[in-house]
Structure 1
């Protein structure tokens, strides 16, 4: 008998759905119906409409849909987290629908949480895309750095790298100079190199006098700031010579790979969508 289900990576601003049959994706759909666009009490109807559009069947949801701002709060499992501990703690808001919990960590008074990324991380290690022991990075608005041990999420840290860039560009004094796009080039690499000095706040303000005094073209300012932030992020988590597996889209993944190489680490780029599918298939097998 064919094993068929609908997997949904349901985030804050968008969602991606997959029809998976016998472990193989046969159809995908993406839209802008993130959790923030669903009215209070509207998740059951929204899930039902998506299920009908995808041809029916059981659904396994991951991501912010299981947060305290989503359909229901699916909670968090502690580190070390595995596919088995996630499967044992799924929430069931409606018949035929399950939601994957997030993961939490508390080390020396420092707390952190993730929701959605855990499926990619564990999918990557479970299928051999990434090693069972090592450092994985998921660049984004809130960049995740996860230490894997024995195939489990042993600990992790979240950096607000992408969000800080957006705040600086849109609301800070230096934002007036950040008129260009971001690309890997001289300005970006200069920012990564400057991040080694450890005074990020001062380095960021330096964008302002560089613009006023004509020391840097404003078209390069955004790339420089991105290099500062990503460089500082990478230096805080990765060691020279260390291999880092990146689960990212090609554009952002290329920037992190360039920064990691600059600090002496060894980046390995993986397909984040393949990792999600691998993880969600294993979870469906465990809870079926």
Structure 2
């Protein structure tokens, strides 16, 4: 078993896992996805869960990234402090089976910066750099449950910050007084743009959210309330993210549907967006790592 032939790349999150079979050149041969996130794996069940992936793709070496390396995953893997690039991650891989099954470390904020961490997004961001999909010096945003804003310098992640945008929307939708109004589909419609504009302009986020409830009880409900709330949160997110670095295009790496929403808000803010599919970037990141093994 070696790293110059086929290998398996696994992006293992809290609620799902995605596995890819790559050839020696990093090209996709096969893939699988299911809802067996790390929280769904029973105690002691990770060896069998990894063996299941290998049974589908063959007995190839495996690199895993994401929450699989957290204190809720298989084996907790230490963070690498920023600034960091692919060359810093490779020697810090935690080997479960030496040379055959390894867990990629996450990143932590550098010395003197506010406490922050990430697991999995760094592989996508650095993979996008390695594949030439984003500039080596850029502001990069990874939308998601915990949105990451990263400053890239010479192909390395120099610093980053996290916004709990996706999780906040989920909490509001599923466990707040706004829940009955937030059941609609989110789209980049006029309600979304109105919310995004308010968020970009620095409007009072908490007051803006409550206005959804107020309009409802006053008999003026907005059928696009979910889109308005999403736009308001993303607009606030983007406003904070853009203040993290200077002018220029913003690289969006992640789920295409989320990147498209953020691109609309960036357009509203007068900024160009470079949209990169997160799955492709992840595969590129794992390929760049395995070339160093």
Q: Give the TM-score normalised by structure 2.
A: 0.93
Is 1:254 the equivalent of 2:260? Answer: yes
Query: Which 5+ residue runs of structure 1 have no aligned equivalent?
Result: none
1:21-69 per-position Cα deviation (integer Å, ceiling 9, x unaligned): 1221111111111111111111112112211221111111111111111
Contact 2:256/2:276, CA 8 A, preserved across alignment: no
Contact 2:145/2:164, CA 8 A, preserved across alignment: yes
Matches within 5 A, 1:146-225: 146-195=150-199, 196-217=201-222, 219-225=223-229
Partner of residue 118 from structure 1, selected from 108, 119, 122: 122
Contact 2:178/2:212, CA 8 A, preserved across alignment: yes
Partner of residue 92 from structure 1, selected from 89, 95, 110: 95
CA distance in 2, matches of 1:235, 1:48: 44
Per the alignment, residue 65 of structure 2 pairs with: 62
Query: Which 5+ residue runs of structure 2 have no aligned equivalent?
Result: none
- How many residues were matched structurally? 286
Q: Secondary structure at the match of 2:220?
A: coil
Contact 2:79/2:106, CA 8 A, preserved across alignment: yes
Per the alignment, residue 272 of structure 1 pairs with: 278
Contact 2:84/2:158, CA 8 A, preserved across alignment: yes
Deviation at 1:107, TM superposition (A): 5.6
Per the alignment, residue 135 of structure 2 pairs with: 131
1:185-234 per-position Cα deviation (integer Å, ceiling 9, x unaligned): 110011011111331111111111111223342x2111110010000000
CA distance in 1, matches of 2:272, 2:167: 25
Q: Secondary structure at the match of 2:11?
A: strand
Bigger fraction of residues in strand:
1
Deviation at 1:241, TM superposition (A): 5.2
CA distance in 2, matches of 1:250, 1:86: 26
Relative contact order (C-alpha < 8 Å, sep 6+): which is higher? Answer: 2
